[in-house]
Amino acid sequence: MLRVRRFTRFRIRPAVYRDTRPTRITAWTVGGEPVPFAEAVTKPYLPFALGERWGRPWDTTWFDVSGEVPADWAAGGQAELVVDLGFTGDQPGFQAEGLVYRPDGEIVKAIEPYNSWVPLPDHGPFRLLIEAAANPIVQVPYEYEPTAMGDKATAGDEPLYRLTDLSVAWRDQEVWELLQDVTTLDGLVDVLPEQGARRAEIVHALERMVDVMDPDDVAGTAARGREVLAPVLAGRAPDSSLIVSAVGHAHIDCAWLWPTRETVRKVARTFANVLDLSERHPEFVFAASSAQQYAWLKDSQPRLFERVRHAVADGVIRPVGGMWVESDTNMPGGEALARQFVLGKRFFAEEFGVDSEEVWLPDSFGYTAALPQIARAAGARYFLTQKPSWNETNPMPHSSFHWEGIDGSRVFTHFPPAETYNSDLGAADLARTERTFRQKGKARHVLGLYGWGDGGGGPTREMLAAAERKHDLDGSPRVRLADPGSFFRAAEAELSAPPVWVGEMYLELHRATLISQARSKRGNRHSEALLREAELWAATAAVRRGAPYPYDELRRIWETVLLLQFHDILPGTSIAWVHQDAERDYGRVADELTALITTALDALRADADDALVAANAGPYPRHGVPAMGLGPATPAATATPRPAGDRIVLDDGMLHVEIDRSGTLVSVVDLDADRELLPQGVAGGVLQLFRDTPREWDAWDINDEDKRSGRDLVEPVSIDIVDDAVVVRHERGKTVINVSIRLSEGKIDYTFDIDWHESQKLLKLAFPLDIRTDRSTSEIQFGHLHRPIHQNTSWDAARFETVAHRWIHVGEPGYGVAIANDVVYGHDIRGGQAPSGRPMTTARLSLLRAPRYPDPFADQGRHAFSVSLRPGGIPEAIADGYALHLPLRTVPGAAAEPLLMVTDRAVVVESVKLAEDRSGDLVVRLYEAHGKRSRATVRTRFGWHEAVATDLLERAVDGEAVRGTTPGSGVDLELRPFELLTLRFRDPVA
């Protein structure tokens, strides 16, 4: 095969283009942020020569290219502009890219590595403009070294690229087809059994191809070479072959190693490529998710968007996923994850008249057990991902299966067995597909996602050529160009009893995404809380006072927050520029939502005097203030710290707490239960610092072995009593950690103010507890999840950092401890033994990291955390979580009755808002939070004519949970464990 491959590389490939002609080139450099075509064409362009350097990092250069296609070029080929902006040969989307325009502003297609050509007229003059983006290469090669390129302020001014080629060339169609034939067969040589007859047949045919061709006249003898290869290309696949439904795809990260402003342009480039391909290949189908990306296209390139709209109508482009973005699913709250579908599906319906049935998340970092229920409530039936193929330890046991969530809802799920969403339909990907498909023998239908992704670009003509040749080819699975819906229906139909996976799909990799970029995570949690408040109070003001409801403002803010939940933004794995933008956006969101809350509460205040009341947006009464209402609050009683020898004591009649000179808890006695919470001889509330040097993927990963390097921070520089708090101060180089510890109503409250200046360190807060249990409980969206805390199996051992939202709980039968927080997501809960030999459970919260790639200054600076601990059960944990999430808001005004109340604490109101269709109907979302069957009545304090159960898109559905309604009074409910329910009250009046 060496002879064949050398002939292909040095003879066939160079012969694809012949008879090239030069072009005339002028250029204009923007020198800043991108500008639209209409502005760029008005600028002064200067002569530019091949070989000149261009492109400061993140800058844009516009090339004006003109030339002429000779009239005497023969038939049997295609005139093309060949462009090389200085490509390195690495993956498209991670380096320079271009978008090609005609002089009238019409987009032709994009320019990228492996797709670096533009169609030209058959003959005559032409002129084109190329918007060339000088995006720096941030992650090639994969060395994970700190880079200055992720921040425009530090990236420098040196040009990154050299213009290598801009020429008119004639592509010989026969030679190009020969190259595709050879590529297809050569790929099979590498994957077929070495001693097999089929491989030998292919090798022999390729050798004969070289024999019959003239190396000095490839164009003249290409047809002979194809004739020799035709018989082996005609060999049919056996009837048992897998059927690969090949779907064009380009997973485009909304931000990652580029900012969102560059993603806007990546989307335009990718769709331009797709539309160009569709004109040449009528059978081509392209699936694209993320309503946000379509919205960007509509705003930035309206003419291109209209072409996309027509392609959707024609079935060429298939909007999939139904979400605003391909979000992270571990950290967004339940309502936010629901809104991903509400906004995404509404956009697809309004713009295209389509409703996708698939949840499309090929690259998120693990999948919450709440997702099946949310998906079904949004009208989805299917789920797609390939990310679990990245598991470090345990391969997932199924490829096509039912995934069951915490409430029992199921979605039919498929993992494309090529284990990539960037397939080229090459032999290696298809062989892996056959090798790893878990349902072989029971099923034949699999999905193949082909096209350049991450940085965009999409499918190429070479990939379609591969699909054509592998439609029915001996040695390969059968490849069929298809759409996602057809695949899922076929795959579901052929498995009469699919296997079932129950619970979360934990990714055994990228666990540090729960910790990195803590300011972005605080912004997310805070934004979710403010959105709940803004909608609740605005809806209350609309029903009670007839105040206008801020539909447009809330939708715009939701769009921002949902974008920032994208799976490389909220997880903290993007360049510095992305997280700087996120922190700025979260600040703006907070200001705008605070203004909306103030306006709504002012409307509720009416003519009340200036007395202060508390607004309680939470689902439970607090300090005398009703849930979701306003009223005077009773101050919380806090214990007064007092010195006692070398310790400081806090006692409120429910807990007796002692803190020693190390700044840690040395005794926590539950006075009601007469029980010590801490194991004998073990301190609690201990800050622990660990080395954090992952093997790879710095911002993404933590490794379990680094826990061997931990040290306790038990030598504070000071411990003081300040009012009702014990304030402990730690200093380590430039890092300063201030911890304020209070005791209030049977609950220990920690407030952290940290000025963080570590590098590659991980900070945890540890609570060893005198509790014997084999599992912990963690809050997730619309419920909670039990996880083993032992390491009996490889699955248990691999789950060493887990997600929880506002609380975790560990307990024995009849007794437990609840730990709540205001922003922490990463947790580490394990069983063990105390020095006394007695069993104990240690719960640790992961507070901060300091990775150096891709943002070398990640998490440097100020951070704040609040954590609480109390004896109690899961109901207490839920209440404490909401209390930290939704603190009372003090405002001038009078007491105001809530719109509704629920008679059972197990049934939690998650959102109160007005309907998306702007009818004025009131929408209330609830869920069963205790994990049991619960009956409750929603008692309303406003008039209404009808109450109906709806899906997430507020369309009426059969609601078994609704047992009865009394107009204007209440709705009786019976909810299954963790059941999610949306109620719509029609025509609400005060």
Please state, in angstroms and rounded to a whole number, the distance separating the CA atoms of residues 761 and 866.
21
Residue type, 961: A
Residues 6+ apart with CB under 8 A from 71: 123, 124
Helices (H), 301-419: 302-313, 334-352, 371-377
Across the beta sheet with 946-950, the strand order is 907-914, 922-928, 980-986, 946-950
Quickly tell me which residue has 């944990």 as its tokens. Answer: 877
Please state, in angstroms and rounded to a whole number, the distance separating the CA atoms of residues 667 and 275.
68
Let me know: does 82 contact 167? Beta carbons within 8 Å: yes
Please provide the distance, in angstroms rounded to a whole number, between the alpha carbons at the two ends of the chain. Answer: 82
Q: Which of 363, 424, 568, 880 is catalytic?
A: 363
φ, ψ of residue 783 to 5 degrees: the values are 155, -155
Please state, in angstroms and rounded to a whole number, the distance separating the CA atoms of residues 761 and 447.
41
Let me know: does 512 contact 704? Beta carbons within 8 Å: no
Please state, in angstroms and rounded to a whole number, the distance separating the CA atoms of residues 110 and 589.
34
3 state SS for 478-537: EEEECCHHHHHHHHHHHCCCCCEEECCECCCCCHHHHCCCHHHHHHHHHHHHHHHHHHHH
Both tokens of 156, joined, read 């420098």
Q: Which of 615, 613, 618 is nearest to 632 (CA)?
A: 613
Beta bridge partners of residue 656, listed in sequence order: 651, 669
Please state, in angstroms and rounded to a whole number, the distance separating the CA atoms of residues 124 and 72.
10
CA dihedral for 53, 44, 92, 77, sign (positive or negative): negative
Q: Which of 409, 405, 431 is nearest to 418 (CA)?
A: 431
Peptide bond into 141 cis (omega under 30): yes
Q: Which of 248, 246, 233, 236 is nearest to 469 (CA)?
A: 233
Q: What's the angle, vertex CA 691, arms to CA 687 and CA 695, rounded to 5?
A: 140
Is residue 363 part of the annotated active site? The answer reads: yes
Please state, in angstroms and rounded to a whole number, the distance separating the CA atoms of residues 635 and 625.
11
Let me know: does 727 contact 740? Beta carbons within 8 Å: yes
Let me know: does 929 contact 908? Beta carbons within 8 Å: yes
Please state, in angstroms and rounded to a whole number, the distance separating the CA atoms of residues 423 and 429.
6
φ, ψ of residue 860 to 5 degrees: the values are -70, 140
Which pairs with CB-CB distance under 8 Å and at least 24 residues apart come from 201-210? 201/232, 201/235, 202/232, 202/475, 203/1, 203/4, 205/229, 205/231, 205/232, 206/1, 206/4, 206/182, 207/3, 207/4, 209/4, 209/182, 210/3, 210/4, 210/7
Q: Which of 100, 107, 70 is nearest to 82 (CA)?
A: 100
Is 734 in a helix, a strand, or coil? coil
Q: Which residues are catalytic?
A: 363
